[in-house]
Chains A and B, each alone.
Chain A
Amino acid sequence: MLTMIGKRLMFAIPSLIGVVIVTFLLTRALPGDPAAYFAGPAASKEAIEQIRKKLGFDKPLIEQFFRYTNDLAHGDFGTSLTTGQPVATEIRNRLPASAELTLLGLIVSITIAIPLGVLAATRPGSWIDHLCRVTTTAGVSLPVFFTGLVLVYVFYFRLGWSPAPLGRLDVFYSAPAHVSGLYLIDALIARDFETFRSALSQLILPAATLAIFSLAPIARMTRASMLAVLASDFVRTARASGLSPSTVIVTYAFRNAMLPVITTLSMVFSFLLGANVLVEKVFAWPGIGSYAVEALISSDFAPVQGFVLTMAVMYVLLNLFIDILYGVIDPRVRLEG
């Protein structure tokens, strides 16, 4: 097993090198000129040249690349010009924010989508099946920023149940001591229940927004996969042997239907992690998606490169984890390189 994991990681190295080269070239190919952008509102040509020199963008591309890879090898992702902070620190601070939000959104989504999918599959054509179809269609059809804004409007602006959409914590709370970077967990570790409550109440609306959006793929995949399994021979045999319907569905059918669902989950998770920019914008969430997009808009190279690289590493690890999980769920699946 360990050698397999090692092998898998080895295979990931060439793709990571490719990612480094491609993002470097792509960011350089962007039409913007960071020196002109950061030279300020009243910059002359000379001022812009001075800035360019300071940023090292006057050097030939190949030299810039070697300097970049050398820094990278020392764990230095460079410094963002828009936020003025080292990219590595920013990603370390922002990744947990995105991860906490995405994980909670996904957990909410799973707890609704999987039972819904299973019920829809066991009673195709019934009201629950239609309910499943309608909710999921509605969920994907509503753009996330729209759902987010509606939720803010109703629960914050109209009803006042939810706190102000001001990011991870209310203005008057300070973040709990850093352990995992996930505020909910860190607050529990610090036994600071007031902060836990504040962090949770800030999380509810954005997590709900994400959950509504991600319901569809999970519920639909569960339903489809369950339908296929329920129609298979071993389920018929199990039923014929007189096993109770709940045993058949939960023990036999559900476990076998899990594989495609897990794959979908991993896809949805990695997609949401990087792509919930709109949710982050609506809720002023200091996440990694909005960070990357802002950097892209101001042709700030270092964060874009850092973001893509982090995401690539996360994909590799996530895929590995999913493959291991396959083996646990279905012993017939063996982890092979």
Chain B
Amino acid sequence: MKRRDFLKSVSGLAAAGALTPAPAIWSAAKADARSETLLIVSESGPNNLDIHGVGTNVPGYEVSWNCYDRLISHEMKSGPGGVPYYDRDKFKPELAEDMNVGDMSVTFKLKKNAKFHDGAPVTAKDVKWSLDRAVSVGGFPTFQMGAGSLTKTEQFVVVDDNTVRIDFAKKDRLTIPDLAVIVPCVVNSELVKKNATEKDPWGLEYTKQQTAGSGAYKVVKWTAGTEVVMERNDAWVGGPLPKVKRVVWRMVPQAGNRRALLERGDADISYDLPNKDFVELKDNVKLNIVSVPYSNGVQYIGMNVKIAPFDNVKVREAVACAIPYQKIMDAVLFGLAKPMFGAAADKATEVAWPQPTKYFTDIARAKALLAEAGYPNGFETTLSFDLGFAGVNEPLCVLVQESLAQIGIKTTINKIPGANWRTELNKKVLPLYTNVFSGWLDYPEYFFIWCYDGKNSIFNTMSYQSKAMDEFIAGAVDAAAVGNTAKYDADVKGFVDLAFKDIPRIPLYQPYVNVAMQKNVSGYQYWFHRRLDYRALVKA
């Protein structure tokens, strides 16, 4: 009997040794912590906790989104595949209690019980100061505000302690949606002013290191490049109290390890695994996999229309006919993208963006077009891509290179490191390249202002300039502002048709956002910024 007991205890010990692998939880408190904590793993982390900061990177936006409130936010609707998806047209109050849109202004009443993380009440002064800050600091935040015609501090008016009015500079359909993006977040002005210096009047150095908002979460620990730890703000009034108490976000550079962490059940969510891993994980019954197309985003092949021979529309058409579309879908993306090619020849243009072109791979036609353009034997050029997204770009470019060789276009692949990519794009000297663009505001004209307008923004990478195009875009913007649907529809169809006829850039596909999570994690929502919203997540 004694011997048996002994054996039992020994084997028990041995089994415990084998079964509780190393994240051994010794104390009960730690076990509790685990069930209330959401562990997120991703490749890179924030470099700044404030979106108004100088050069804040995209992971930094996620912190801002979850730790700061805006006046308004979006409602949810059911998106592709039943995934909750933000509703572009429906707004809900966040810090505001009520929104009153007038002819040339909008008035917000603030929630009276809203408090910042340090307990100070959120007042109209804070809102004005924050919006002033967004339009004054320069760089990306100011530019984003400008996209909604919010450019001057005089536009933001304190009516009383709890009321703010925003005056419109001009009628613009994008003004209200632009108030619901990440940038116009409300900052604790008194706290930040206390920590501002003469050289840094907006206190950007202070908010870089800590969050000073009223949002659902606050950062309690941030080790740059390693982890961000966030805790729930139990006094949050911007919406229903989030279910997850603590969020630990760890940076795991190796994609294979992120996958292993998920499969072993150690990490709760990962959202930047390579497509191939996602496809393989789809068959894994232990995980929830969500794939949603980028809103208003397209990966494309661009051609610089100012550089011969791409100044010839026939050459551009020839390239569009020689792209191995389906191969790219299958071999590069493993089907995890929405095709933006091969629409039926008789399909009418829709009032929507992105939408598929009528191009498909047709080598014979490409050869004919190239001969017509005066290049029967083809030509030589370089094909550039951003090494920062080599996982997709490199195989894609190799496939394009192979296919173009069949019509006599010899391409040298030019790999450009992530740090140089923007610089090179800005110079507008790359003849042929692949890139991706996606706009936060999901309106066709917004995409076209950035990418096709003659004002030649950085994303008009083709240096495409066309009077007719500019007229269509301006027409659509004006029609939207006054609600003239017929004119708007005609102009949107006009610019889409023109973009496909002149084909300075060849749309390939709409990429997917891929999120993998444990079965006990639910509540994922797709947002225009494509980052995670912790407030809706639930860990059972």
Contact = CB atoms under 8 A, between A and B. Distances in A.
Q: How many B residues are at the interface, by size bracket?
A: 35 or more
Interface string A267-301: 00000000000000111101000110010011100
A45 to B, nearest CB: 7
B495 to A, nearest CB: 20
B22 interface: yes
Contact of A45 (B26, B226, B251, B426): B426
Interface string A207-251: 000000000000000000000000000000000000000000000
A316 B402 CA distance: 52
A315 interface: no
Contacts of A197: 24
Interface in A32-90: 32-34, 36-45, 47-48, 50-51, 54-55, 80-85, 90
A129 interface: no
A37 B418 contact: yes
A297 B417 contact: yes
A164 B266 contact: yes
A43 B48 contact: no
Contacts, number: 174
Given A163-B22, A165-B252, 15 more contacts: A36-B423, A37-B423, A38-B55, A41-B140, A44-B143, A45-B426, A54-B139, A82-B47, A90-B224, A149-B254, A153-B260, A172-B23, A284-B226, A290-B225, A297-B417
16 contacts: A32-B423, A33-B419, A42-B459, A80-B47, A84-B46, A84-B48, A153-B260, A156-B264, A160-B264, A163-B22, A164-B23, A165-B252, A172-B33, A194-B26, A290-B253, A299-B420
B55 A81 contact: yes
B143 A38 contact: no
B450 to A, nearest CB: 7
B27 to A, nearest CB: 8
B458 A43 contact: yes
B250 A171 contact: yes
Given A36-B426, A157-B264, A172-B33, A281 B23 contact: no
A50 B261 contact: no
B314 to A, nearest CB: 32
Which among A51, A171, A291 has the highest number of chain B CB atoms within 10 Å?
Answer: A171
A281 B54 contact: no
A333 B47 CA distance: 50
Interface of B: 18, 21-27, 30, 33-34, 37, 39, 41, 46-48, 53-58, 138-140, 142-144, 147, 208-209, 223-227, 248, 250-254, 256-257, 260-261, 263-264, 266-267, 417-420, 422-423, 426, 450, 457-459
A33 B422 contact: yes
Contact of A281 (B55, B144, B254, B457): B254
Nearest to A54: B54
Given A32-B420, A47-B142, A41 B58 contact: yes
Contact of A149 (B208, B224, B256, B418): B256
Contacts of B37: 171-172
Contacts of B26: 194
Nearest to A286: B226
A150 to B, nearest CB: 11
B500 to A, nearest CB: 24
A32 B39 CA distance: 34
A85 B420 CA distance: 22
Contact of B419 (A170, A284, A299): A299
